[in-house]
């Protein structure tokens, strides 16, 4: 008798197999749907999109504020959003394009806007400060440098990509 219990009858076997396959098919069908549903959330900005911002020969040593538009997929909505960059050449004549988003809590920083702190990026929200290279000044709330945009130069035109956190400092 004990033997019989452990045996899988033909019908049971078929049953198992069918549920197995059914389950498997179900999974296959659900997977793409989940894919659709989750996809927009995962997409964000594409890493490869570069947008023209200004001509390279217009770039000075003084940071200039430039606004440009990017396609952004924000959750369910795809829209054009404005981005701002502070564009300039540093002391080594390297191009820098900094994001104005304060690394503390996200207010918009301004260049040279506070008389008490000339030649710095200044955040009006909690007196956050960054030196000309966008590196946060210790003792002020921000904990990391301003992010910088990836960029490419094509035929003398400066194209900006995504803003990324910088190492160092």
Give the binding site for another protein (CB under 8 A).
102, 104-108, 123-126, 141
Give dist(CA 57, CA 65) in Å, integer: 15
Interface residue with ligand FES, options 70, 131, 141, 150 (CB under 6 A): 141
Long-range CB contacts for residues 90-94, cutoff 8 Å, separation at least 24: 90/61, 90/132, 90/133
Output 142 or 145, the one with its CB closest to ligand FES.
142
Q: Which is nearer to ligand FES, 106 or 118 (CB)?
A: 106
Question: 102 near 125, Cβ under 8 Å?
Answer: yes
Give the three-class secondary structure for 53: strand
Q: How far is the CB of 30 from ligand FES (least distance, A)?
A: 42
Q: How far is the CB of 101 from another protein (least distance, A)?
A: 8
| Tokens representing residue 108 in the block | 């918009």
Residues 68-107 binding ligand FES (CB under 6 A) are 102, 104-107
State how far the Cα of 54 lies from the Cα of 69, in Å rounded to an integer. 13
Kindly state whether residue 146 participates in binding ligand FES, applying the rule CB under 6 A: no
Establish if 145 lies at the interface with ligand FES (CB under 6 A).
Answer: no
In the complex, minimum distance from the CB of residue 28 to ligand FES, in angstroms, rounded to a whole number: 47
Tell me 101's DSSP state.
B
Q: How far is the CB of 94 from another protein (least distance, A)?
A: 28
Q: Quick check: 159 and 153 in contact, CB under 8 A?
A: yes
134 scored as a contact of ligand FES (CB under 6 A): no
Contact present, 55 and 72 (Cβ < 8 Å): no
Binding footprint of ligand FES on the chain (CB under 6 A): 102, 104-107, 123, 125-126, 128, 141-142
């Amino acid at each position: 008798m004990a033997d019989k219990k452990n045996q899988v009858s033909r019908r049971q076997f078929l049953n198992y197999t069918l549920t197995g396959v059914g389950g498997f098919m179900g999974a296959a069908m659900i997977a793409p749907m989940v894919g659709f549903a989750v996809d927009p959330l995962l997409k964000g900005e594409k890493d490869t999109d570069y947008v023209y911002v200004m001509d390279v020969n217009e770039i000075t040593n003084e940071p200039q504020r430039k606004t440009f538009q990017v396609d952004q997929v924000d959750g369910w909505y795809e829209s054009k959003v404005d981005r701002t960059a502070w564009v300039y050449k540093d002391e080594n004549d390297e191009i820098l394009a900094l994001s104005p988003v304060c690394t503390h809590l996200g207010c918009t920083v301004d260049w040279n806007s506070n008389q008490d702190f000339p030649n710095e990026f200044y955040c009006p929200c909690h007196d956050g400060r960054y030196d000309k290279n966008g590196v946060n000044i210790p003792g002020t709330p921000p904990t990391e440098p301003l992010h910088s945009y990836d960029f490419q130069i094509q035929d003398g035109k400066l194209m900006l990509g995504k803003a990324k956190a910088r190492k160092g400092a």
